[in-house]
Amino acid sequence: MELLRLHVVINGRVQGVSFRYHTKLKADDLQITGWVLNRRDGAVETLAEGTENQLAVFQKYLWQVPPLARVDTIESLSNAPATGEFSGFNIRYYTRPM
């Protein structure tokens, strides 16, 4: 079974509303690996690896947000073969510049 990589940016009201937490829960449920990150521009970025079916379900879920969130757009950065570099799905944190 071929594993693929999905890399997307989610725009809307997606920070401060538990979006990353719910994304991780769904990824863990689907047994997808990768990460999710709040970006400095207010968007959320996620990179996920799994089967075509797993990633289709995951991408559809990204539109079904927590109650306080709102997704306006999902921008695809890439679809490619998986690299297998992840052992799980993690919430990543950026470091603010000083």
Please identify every residue annotated as catalytic. 20, 38
Instruction: Kindly report the backbone phi and psi dihedral angles of residue 91, in degrees, each rounded to the nearest multiple of 5, phi listed first.
Output: -90, 125
Q: 3-state DSSP helix/strand/coil percent for the chain, to nearest 5?
A: 25, 40, 35
What is the rounded CA–CA span in Å between residue 93 and residue 82? 22
Q: What angle do CA 98, 37, 18 make, to 5 degrees?
A: 110
Identify the three-state secondary structure at position 10: strand
